[in-house]
Amino acid sequence: MVEADEEWDTVVPDESVMRPGAEDLCTRLGLGGAALTLSRTDRSRCAPSAGSTS
């Protein structure tokens, strides 16, 4: 799991490689046009809570 922008940059140094696939997946899941990034507030809501096993 990637938890920080710096970790993402290590895994995917060129986001233009990943973005088309992510956009296609969003479209196939019925989320076409959805934002592919989260604000800091949204990220904190999605973060696992302490003691989480996920």
Q: Give CA angle at 6 (3, 10), nearest 5°.
A: 100
From residue 54, alpha-carbon distances to 39, 44, 48, 49 in Å are 21, 15, 7, 9
Q: pLDDT per residue over 4-30, tens digit each?
A: 888 888 888 888 888 888 889 889 999
Per-residue confidence (pLDDT) for residue 40, from 0 to 100 = 58
The residue-averaged pLDDT of 36-54 equals 58
d(CA 38, CA 6): 15
Q: pLDDT per residue over 32-41, tens digit each?
A: 887 777 665 5
Is residue 36 a contact partner of residue 23, using CB atoms and an 8 Å limit?
Answer: yes
- 53 pLDDT above the threshold of 70: no
Classify residue 37 by its DSSP letter.
Answer: S
